[in-house]
Structure 1
């Protein structure tokens, strides 16, 4: 999953205006839900994120909990218990979503409802053939092509660094932090959650460069951890090791996050325990969009994930084997990794230019 948190709540309003069926109410005699039953349903909805806490990332837990809350509201609009509604009701819910939401959001809602129902001990049975056919039709209608953000490449970074010159800024510490964060994210192919999660204890320097310990990630839910090396290239303005060293000289050795929070006055922020305070993952996303907008490019085309896509695309441009790039970026699936190469492979060995040559 990329890192998307679902918003909204319009499904409940949509359902409130629709006719309420009585043949499929939870009670055999068609009785409406009691206030006690409805209160229990809402309690389960509020605790849904706790049911999946041990096996899913924080972002996925939030998305699943929101999806379950909205599934609950939609079902209650029909006076239906969301913990026992069958596949036909889920199909109707997803159909309603398809009018306003993307396929990726619909797939996430489906996965959330199915996962939480399993954890409640009331799985939705999909083996009657109807639901798989419904999904196939939905994907065919909506289109399964995922929306991809543009890769942030070397030429983009060179332009960005001109905007983040700490010697010409009133808040040099912020500039130093942002330079180090962007170049580290690009060089290591890190996700925004990983960048925001790095602690000072997670980094070390060697004669070759910088070693960062990723304590946990999307593909390492059991948090075994993994080390990623970033080589030093002192002659390059894009050297992440140089940028991190400069940032640490300004940051100091106070315990806390590597890329810590900085207030509006340009000062590092500390907690009551004396540790530096962490940045939010949204800070990484806002930073990418802000600096890209400053270069004149359309910021809507870029996101925090553009750093990760940029690393893979740059590696592909320079002939780095896919296996090596996958290992560096901690990809487990080759098909997924290939999807991060933003069109660079289209031109390697491409012969179409020769078709028009004299």
Structure 2
């Protein structure tokens, strides 16, 4: 017989991400609680919790507190349905996080759950699917495919603002090696002039969530004006009339620039559409392809891991190696040296 569901099991997911307290949080405390996790992280936790709660409802389990057999059954079903180990790991983290925030025992500590999870990882573990690196010459084709003119039925043709924005996003994203969330959050105030190009200040990042360390990223002038990130960025800002606020913004179907910033997911979609226009081949492609392309292309052109990490802001040089793609497997390789035999 299924035990009755506790009253707090039906609390909205967003509220469950706040700590359990005896007295209500003040507005100021609630604001700081919300700021304790990145918005994307909070959205992910909430989505995962809703999915787990729905699974529990279908199978007659109580989601909060979750019994070990409920959690082990859930991850077993996910694995059987073909979910990737990384996806299951994220779901587990979300469920455990909600329990911790409600001062409840962590169901992931149960030996039943830990052993099933270990078996899933050993059986289904595989390298994560990595975004394909977007770099020259493919990047050149993608940039060239950005539309230059937009036509209308009720007024004369105009310069395509979305095309200008896409060129700026692609070139700035490649040369700066910014993450998609950082590209979306970039403001005019973060861009400083420099004789050799621009310097971008990143107030907060994945590796610097508290903003305790200044992070500066270089955006250089390049020899080819058509491939210069500074030129592309300036052209976009001038045409869009942007003098303050978000750098990258939505462009309406009427060729007008919105006030708010792009969502990080929109940055992803823009890169994917741009690649599709150029028809350069299968991916997977994403906004991360620009960052991966920077690392891979810089490595191929002789940049040291330390120099690359200076731009990407990786804390560990070992991480750089995970970005260097299949082509690097052929460098200084004994089998390749034997190919002439």
Q: Deviation string for 1:61-103 (max 9, x for gaps)?
A: 1111111122222233444432222333211111111122221
What residue number does 1:200 align with? 188
What residue number does 1:356 align with? 339
Structure 2 vs 1, CA of residues 313 and 75 (structure 1 numbering), >3 Å: closer, same or farther?
same
| Worse overlay, 250-259 or 107-116 | 250-259
Aligned partners of 1:327, 1:261: CA distance in 2, in Å?
A: 31
Give 1:48 deviation, angstroms: 2.5
2:218 alignment partner, one of 229, 245, 270: 229
What residue number does 1:61 align with? 42
Give 1:308 deviation, angstroms: 0.9
| Worse overlay, 177-186 or 116-125 | 116-125
Q: Deviation string for 1:333-356 (max 9, x for gaps)?
A: 344332222224212212323313
Does residue 1:189 correspond to 2:177, yes or no?
A: yes
Does residue 1:296 correspond to 2:279, yes or no?
A: yes
Aligned partners of 2:224, 2:239: CA distance in 1, in Å?
A: 21
State whether residues 18 and 101 of structure 2, in contact with CA within 8 Å, keep that contact through their aligned partners in structure 1.
no
State whether residues 75 and 117 of structure 2, in contact with CA within 8 Å, keep that contact through their aligned partners in structure 1.
no
How many residues are treated as equivalent by the alignment? 320
Aligned partners of 2:180, 2:36: CA distance in 1, in Å?
A: 20
Give 1:264 deviation, angstroms: 0.7
State whether residues 290 and 299 of structure 1, in contact with CA within 8 Å, keep that contact through their aligned partners in structure 2.
no
2:303 alignment partner, one of 320, 335, 356: 320
DSSP 3-state at the match of 1:154: coil
Aligned partners of 1:85, 1:174: CA distance in 2, in Å?
A: 48
Aligned partners of 2:110, 2:66: CA distance in 1, in Å?
A: 15
Aligned partners of 2:126, 2:85: CA distance in 1, in Å?
A: 7
**Normalized against structure 2, the TM-score is what?**
0.85
Structure 2 vs 1, CA of residues 266 and 79 (structure 1 numbering), >3 Å: closer, same or farther?
same
2:205 alignment partner, one of 217, 242, 256: 217
Q: Deviation string for 1:39-78 (max 9, x for gaps)?
A: x311153413445733322111111111112222223344
| Worse overlay, 325-334 or 180-189 | 325-334
Structure 2 vs 1, CA of residues 78 and 55 (structure 1 numbering), >3 Å: closer, same or farther?
same
Q: Which runs of 5+ in 1 are unaligned?
A: 1-21, 26-31, 270-275
Aligned partners of 1:167, 1:205: CA distance in 2, in Å?
A: 29
Does residue 1:338 correspond to 2:318, yes or no?
A: no
Aligned partners of 1:344, 1:316: CA distance in 2, in Å?
A: 11
DSSP 3-state at the match of 1:47: helix
1:104 alignment partner, one of 86, 106, 123: 86
| Worse overlay, 80-89 or 157-166 | 80-89
State whether residues 86 and 125 of structure 1, in contact with CA within 8 Å, keep that contact through their aligned partners in structure 2.
yes
State whether residues 96 and 108 of structure 2, in contact with CA within 8 Å, keep that contact through their aligned partners in structure 1.
no
Give 1:217 deviation, angstroms: 2.0
2:66 alignment partner, one of 69, 74, 85: 85
Measured on the aligned residues, the alpha-carbon RMSD in Å equals 2.3
